[in-house]
Structure 1
Amino acid sequence: MRTSFGPLVGLALTLMSTPAFAQDETPAVTISGGATLVSDYRFRGISQTDKDFAVQGTFTVSHKSGFYATVWGSSIDDYIAAGSDQEIDLIAGFKKTFSGTTVDVGVLYYYYPGSSKIVPGTNSDFVEPYIGISHTFGPVTGKVSAAYAPKSKALSIGAGKEDNLYVAFDLSGGIPNTPLSLSAHLGHSYGPSYLTIGKGYTDWNVGATYTWKNLILGVSYVDTNKALFSPSGKNISKGGIVGSVGVAF
């Protein structure tokens, strides 16, 4: 699941300083999105692009009730999903904030068009329900989350249908009076399944972003405690620097 941290503190201050009648003017539906170029697409610490560049895009429609729907996509290498060269995530969820605590629940469908190019009959698609609970502490937001993919053939590594559980803890926050934000992530994948390729493993990263108008520049260090090699011989789980440049609307 791809998660972004918004400026929750700034939003709270805005709401506090807005007259009560202005709440009626809040649009029922909002639309947001963006596009990003990354030097390496890492999913839970593992490179999905053989440590090469990826182009990504997202589009979200949100209702003021808390319901939302998102489409997220990225280019990938063909070793990820039996020949598919793209990943498309279809997401539906509900998010609500109570006294600084935000609860986010939903389901994510991983769709890999053309995933049977290498192995005919292969279906790499799978579903993953998720839940996340975050809370703001001044300028810092902490979040705990879990995502569980039920047993399916797409997650099998040869032992029939298999499932996967991923739990994570994130910290993020903006540096006051600057366009800089910092983040840290720690996650663990419980295996075995296709998402772990054997035993479970831990991934982590630390990063920073710089925002100028609608432009977002990012850099992070991503690493795992796993050794996993792609068909080209690259260790796609080894630590490395990932850079990104994106635009949001």
Structure 2
Amino acid sequence: MMMKKLALAIVGASTVGLSSIAAAEEFPTSLGTFDVSMTATFATDYIWRGQSQTDGTGAIQGSLDIAHESGVYIGTWASNVDSAAFAGSSVEIDYYVGYAGNITDDIGYDLSWNRYTYPKANELTSDEVIGTLSAYGFTLGTKYAYDPDSKLYTWIGYDYALPQDFGLHFSYGRTDTKDPIDATGSNAKYDDWMVGVSKNFIGLDFLLAYTDTDIKGGTCEAWYGDKDNCNSNVTLSVSKSF
């Protein structure tokens, strides 16, 4: 489950950050063992699929996850967002439930249902199904948003552990949506990519990441009201797990 969240966090299911690497607390019960983990993240920007969700400003984020030994898990994640771009809402709150497991020691899978909500902007609430397959450091994933609009996001990522608690992270994703997001009303297909270096130090998880997209300035401005939100970004985040 924790490696699943690492892939999602870095590729942009929620954020660029290491909120995935959580130190879980185990609770044996008559229904089996549960793992409970919480993470707090401070980032210089909230990047989602190569795009700033906080208009280039900082983000404070947090998550709470509960996982059963069977592989079933539930969780919630929250972050501040740019209120002007999200119909007056300054907060994003996500909820998810899923099932994760391993086929072998090196091959794992994950399937989850996710809901993204924005208080004060209920019309932006959306639902998404996410599936991933991970093997030997690679992750292949797809996200299908079926409500309220049809969108498909596919990506491939690679994570490589280095000595001294360093890590390298790469991802490349494609968004395919039927929503007309630019002034011409054309369908949007665009790519995003990320290169990052992580480090565990004094009990904190640091990530320095470069992200970018091939979205043109006019499309980005029509979407967010600011063409700079889709420019290349260098983001630093630091996370603490409890």
**TM-score using structure 2 length:** 0.80
Query: 1:74, 1:86 within 8 Å by CA — same for their partners in 2?
Result: yes
Which consecutive segments of 4 or more residues in structure 1 shift more than 3 A? none
Mapped partners of 1:205, 1:49: distance in 2: 18
Displacement of 1:173: 1.7
* Residue 241 of structure 1: aligned partner: 234
What is the count of residue pairs matched by the alignment? 206
Query: 2:7, 2:139 within 8 Å by CA — same for their partners in 1?
Result: no
Show structure 2 runs of 5+ residues with no match.
9-31
Mapped partners of 1:242, 1:191: distance in 2: 26
Give the structure, 1 or 2, with the largest relative contact order (CA under 8 Å, sep 6 or more): 2
Displacement of 1:47: 0.6
* Residue 30 of structure 1: aligned partner: 35
Identify which of 138, 142, 145 aligns with 1:146: 142
1:104 and 2:110 aligned? yes
Displacement of 1:212: 2.1
Mapped partners of 1:234, 1:226: distance in 2: 9
Q: How does 1:155-174 map to 2 (within 5 A)?
A: 162-174=149-161
* Residue 158 of structure 1: aligned partner: none
Query: 1:128, 1:149 within 8 Å by CA — same for their partners in 2?
Result: yes
Larger Rg: 1
Mapped partners of 2:147, 2:60: distance in 1: 30
Mapped partners of 1:45, 1:186: distance in 2: 10
1:52-95 deviation per Cα after TM superposition (whole angstroms, max 9, x unaligned): 10101011000000000111111000133211101111010000
* Residue 53 of structure 1: aligned partner: 58
Mapped partners of 2:64, 2:89: distance in 1: 21
* Residue 193 of structure 1: aligned partner: 179
Query: 1:78, 1:84 within 8 Å by CA — same for their partners in 2?
Result: yes
1:106-142 deviation per Cα after TM superposition (whole angstroms, max 9, x unaligned): 1000011111xxxxxx611010011000012xxxx10
1:91 and 2:96 aligned? yes
Mapped partners of 1:214, 1:91: distance in 2: 27
Displacement of 1:3: 3.3
Show structure 1 runs of 5+ residues with no match.
7-26, 116-121, 153-161
Mapped partners of 2:134, 2:73: distance in 1: 17
Q: SS of the counterpart of 2:123?
A: coil
Larger proportion of helix: 2
1:127 and 2:127 aligned? yes
1:221 and 2:210 aligned? yes
Identify which of 13, 28, 44 aligns with 2:49: 44
Q: SS of the counterpart of 1:108?
A: strand
Query: 2:81, 2:90 within 8 Å by CA — same for their partners in 1?
Result: yes
**TM-score using structure 1 length:** 0.78
CA RMSD of aligned residues (A): 1.9
Q: SS of the counterpart of 2:79?
A: strand
* Residue 26 of structure 2: aligned partner: none
